[in-house]
Every structure is written in C-alpha cells, then in structure tokens.
Structure 1
C-alpha cells in the first residue's frame, strides 16, 4: 500500500500525530519504525514504518470511537485477509503483525503490506480526461473479477453499512454545525437518509432481482494500485454486503459497460441511479469533518453541488 511520497513536504498536525501513534504502535508489535514517512493524508493518514515493509492506516478524521472503528476494521481485515489467502489481487494485511486492530490513544490502527505503485495517477485534475476515462473503465472491468471472488466470502457482514448507520451521525453533526448546508438542505438530507434506512431494512421488497453479495464498499475502481506484478485492490474499510451497483457508483457509462462485458451480467440502471444518489449523500455528510480538516471544504463543494442538482432520493414508484 503506497501513495505519492509526501516526506519532503510539511506535515499537518494531524499527520504528525498519526506518525507518533503509528510509530508507538508499531514498536509495541516489534517493528523497527526507524524512518516513518507519511504516504497519504486525507480521511486516513497512511504511515510507512520504514525500513519495515509495513503501512499503518490511522483514522485521523473518524467521528466514531476506537471501539466502533475496531469493529469495522475487523470486517475489513477478515475480508481482505481471506482474499489475500486465496491469491486474489489485493493489498494484504501485514504478515509481520497479528491481523487485529491496534488501539492506541483513542484511535484504532490497522497494519498493511507496503507495495510500490507504478504508473500512479497523480493529480486527477491535471490528467487527460480521455486517459482518465480509459483508466477507470479498465478498472471497472477488473471490479467484475473482484466481485466474482467476493461472492465466495463465507463470513457474515452487515448490509450497506457505509450508508446505514454510517451516514446518520454525520447528518446529526451537520444539524448542530451545518457548514455550508442550508436548513432546506439538511431537511432533504434527513429525508433521503430515512428512505435509505427503509431500503436497507428490506432491499428485496424494492429490488427483488438485485444481486446482493459481499462488496468492496468504497468504489473499488478508484481504489486500485498498479504495480510491477499487476493491479491490487486496496482500502476495504467500507466492506459490506449489498447490491453490486453500490460498488459501481462514479464509474460513468463506459465503466458500467466495461463491468457488464467482464461480468456477463446486466447492471440495474434504476438501482445504480439510486446508489449514485446515496453516494452523493454520503459525500455530502462528509462536510461534518470540515472542522477537523478545513482543506476538505473545497474538495467537497463540487459534490454538494451535484447532490443539490439531482432530484431528491426517494423510494416512490419502487417495489
């Protein structure tokens, strides 16, 4: 697991704290952690505990406590570990430490194998749009193979947990501190979340033909590392059960077509559209994290604009 090197740039206070936590936790487990460096700093901070080939994911913005974090992380480690054990193309939990979250100072950390990424995307805003579309269409095709593997996962998982209950606390926090949202925005968001609660409680009643199975949970086409040995899926922290359409949000029409060709099965466009709306609501809820990371606001504003421009999410006419 690797991202562009930020070792020569000034670290945020959040990243400095993550390095401190990761180093202490790593040494507690017998790792050297002599030259830790930050690889990535957004919703999580990724710390490479060099010289050991271990990357620690530190949830720096989480609203939940360590107990809740660890509960989700155990699902992630179980699924990613099972996939790795079967030879699937995924970033493995580190074999140098136990496959368990590590709690330290109110944060729950996970440990992953360090891999070297090649042909990294860099700044998407600076990339050629056609090249970007080609890349994500190809990776959407790879997602079909990942889904075939995940369909065999034997463990139990909650249904669409990145939505319900995860979005609820972010909307509650935004009701207290709205950021850029109006009262009308918040009312709409809460109505949409109530509709999602109903959907998640009985998905077959609304989409009886939906293909439900174990999913990556966080747009796997966007969570792929290209390495010398091939591609690796990463970041299974939102692993869940649900319809395959949840994993296909944001890939665009060409990505959906590539997935259908690779999987040999059609995608339900009505369900996909509903999941797209749910993904935008989830991203809008992330405004609750802006007080912890003000740099998020300009990143999220275009998504909020997209969410406002869509018709409100509703279950009317379904089922």
Structure 2
C-alpha cells in the first residue's frame, strides 16, 4: 500500500467513509482518489494543512457568492489530518471536459469581481511558492543549470516587488487554465476546480496564465486569445508588468516539468527543452511545449 493510500484509509476511518476499492485518479503534487460513494478524496503534501483548510473555506464562500465550484462533502469536519498530511473530501463531478475559452474568461471575470471578506483569510498571491525547493530537487538539471534557475528566480522575485499599477487586486484563482475551469455539458456554466493556489492579488496573474497557454505553448487556435480578451474585457499583454508575470509563469512550468520528470523519465527531454527556451536558446515564442502532467 502506498503512503498516500495508507493516509487516505486512516482519514476515511476517522470520518466514517469506506476506503476499500479507492481508485487513484492522479498522483502529482497531491494525490486524488475516487471512492465508491461518489466522493473524490484529495491527499495533500506534508505540512499543507492550512492550504487544505483554505480550499474548504474558499469552496464554501464561492458557493455563497454564486460561483459554480467544486463542492466539499457536507457534514464532515475538514481537513482531516493524518501523519502531517491533510485529506479533504469533495463531491465527484459528472463527466466533464476543459472549459472553452469564453467559459474560462467568464469564470475568471466572476472571480475577479469578488472582494473576499476578512474572515476568509486569503493569503497574498505567492507566484514563486515552492520554486526554490523544486529547483534544488531538479536532478534532471546539472548544478550550473540549477544555479542559473536560482538567479533567474531571484531576479523575477525582485521585479515582482516592483510591478506597475494594474487592475485592482481581488480574489484570484492562482492556477488558471482550462483544466481547472471545466464544463459538464452544453449551456452549463463553467465549474471552478483546484483551489490550492487561490489567493488575493493582481488579476493579471490569472490572465497571464491563459496568455502563456497561447503565446508560449501555442495550445490555442489562432483567434482564441483575441476571443478571450474580448470576452474578459482586458488585454493583459499590453500591461507594462506582463513580461514579469509571463516569465514567472514560464519558470513555474519549467520547474513543474522537472519535478514530473523525476517520476516519469520520458519527460526529461521536455524539462531540458523548456529550460533552454527560457534561456533564449530556441528563438522567440511560441515554443510549442507539450503538457507535462
């Protein structure tokens, strides 16, 4: 039995749920399991109890604000702590797929128009959270490459502290892309998932995330970015602080690929390619990065 499954089994026993037959959905930074009772359990990393508690608070708050969002299972005191790992329980969604570009714009606009109450205790946006750790653990890179990444991280951290004025700060998703804003069918509103990075900060961070999908990954049809900007009502790439947030987002993508390569060796080449791109070795964007999840 894996560590996460052991943690899940103990957490389920504390709240009266059955863990037998639990099926692994995804093993990334967090592990997701499907339980027989139509519940999805999320097993967090060590020491992430406050983050898990925030996710529960945010889900309840967004529901009250009228934002369609993944819902916690009611009548369970969450998160459940087991050996330093936090477990949360969520209602399983019906069959769903990535939201269309207009749906993503609508969901982000709705979130960004919200001003969270003080009792929600949203943390400030932390664009560089865990990056130093990821770089230190990135065995796919040699010491010189890791040194360059640390220097790049420090430079971007300094630049982030000097961002020019932009949109008013608000609630932000923190990890916005079509896979975290999904739809369950035609004419249905988009549903917001994965609240781990939910924070208070510049909405441009979420908008830049979508821009990187288009301008770095080249993952959208040619007119999709224009449709997104029109729908949302703002063109983030014209903002003076855009390049800082773009480079920060791309750095996260590089380190994520390196992290995943430790589990999936076929991603080592992609991690090295991403690093070479941000070092200027492959010309201008788009770089046609492939997913590393």
Alignment TM class, shorter chain as reference: 0.7 to 0.9
Where does residue 226 of structure 1 map in the other structure?
183
1:80 corresponds, among 55, 59, 63, to 59
* Aligned-partner SS, 1:112: strand
Decide whether aligned partners of structure 1 residues 26 and 223 sit closer, same or farther in structure 2, where only a CA change above 3 A counts: same
2:149 corresponds, among 168, 184, 189, to 189
Tell me how far apart the structure 1 counterparts of residues 81 and 264 of structure 2 sit (CA, whole Å): 22
Instruction: Give the Å deviation of 1:80.
Output: 2.1
Alignment partner of 1:157 is 2:122: yes
Q: Note the alpha carbon deviations across 1:20-51, whole angstroms, 9 max, x for none.
A: 3223212211123343222223332211121x
Where does residue 70 of structure 1 map in the other structure?
49
Tell me how far apart the structure 2 counterparts of residues 84 and 310 of structure 1 sit (CA, whole Å): 46
1:258 corresponds, among 196, 215, 227, to 227
* Aligned-partner SS, 1:309: coil
Structure 2 length normalisation: TM-score?
A: 0.77
Decide whether aligned partners of structure 1 residues 255 and 93 sit closer, same or farther in structure 2, where only a CA change above 3 A counts: farther
Where does residue 16 of structure 2 map in the other structure?
30
Alignment partner of 1:112 is 2:90: yes
Tell me how far apart the structure 2 counterparts of residues 136 and 196 of structure 1 sit (CA, whole Å): 31
Q: Note the alpha carbon deviations across 1:175-225, whole angstroms, 9 max, x for none.
A: xxx423450x3233222221233244x3xx431234322211112433123
Where does residue 275 of structure 2 map in the other structure?
304
Where does residue 131 of structure 1 map in the other structure?
none
Instruction: Give the Å deviation of 1:299.
Output: 5.6
Instruction: Give the Å deviation of 1:256.
Output: 4.2
Where does residue 180 of structure 1 map in the other structure?
141
Where does residue 41 of structure 2 map in the other structure?
56
Q: Note the alpha carbon deviations across 1:227-281, whole angstroms, 9 max, x for none.
A: 1454311001111222222112234264543333223334253433322211121
Decide whether aligned partners of structure 1 residues 53 and 162 sit closer, same or farther in structure 2, where only a CA change above 3 A counts: farther
RMSD: 2.9
Contact 2:67 2:111 in 1 (8 A): no
Where does residue 26 of structure 2 map in the other structure?
40
Tell me how far apart the structure 1 counterparts of residues 142 and 228 of structure 2 sit (CA, whole Å): 35
Structure 1 length normalisation: TM-score?
A: 0.71
Decide whether aligned partners of structure 1 residues 235 and 301 sit closer, same or farther in structure 2, where only a CA change above 3 A counts: farther
Instruction: Give the Å deviation of 1:88.
Output: 1.1
**Which stretch of structure 1 is more off in the superposition, 258-267 or 231-240?**
258-267
Contact 1:215 1:239 in 2 (8 A): yes
Contact 1:142 1:259 in 2 (8 A): no
Decide whether aligned partners of structure 1 residues 142 and 303 sit closer, same or farther in structure 2, where only a CA change above 3 A counts: farther
Q: Unpaired segments of 5 or more residues in structure 1?
A: 1-12, 122-134, 312-319
Instruction: Give the Å deviation of 1:97.
Output: 1.5
Decide whether aligned partners of structure 1 residues 107 and 298 sit closer, same or farther in structure 2, where only a CA change above 3 A counts: farther
Q: Note the alpha carbon deviations across 1:55-90, whole angstroms, 9 max, x for none.
A: 11123xx4xx32xx1122222222222102333111
1:273 corresponds, among 243, 256, 259, to 243
Q: Unpaired segments of 5 or more residues in structure 2?
A: 216-222, 283-293
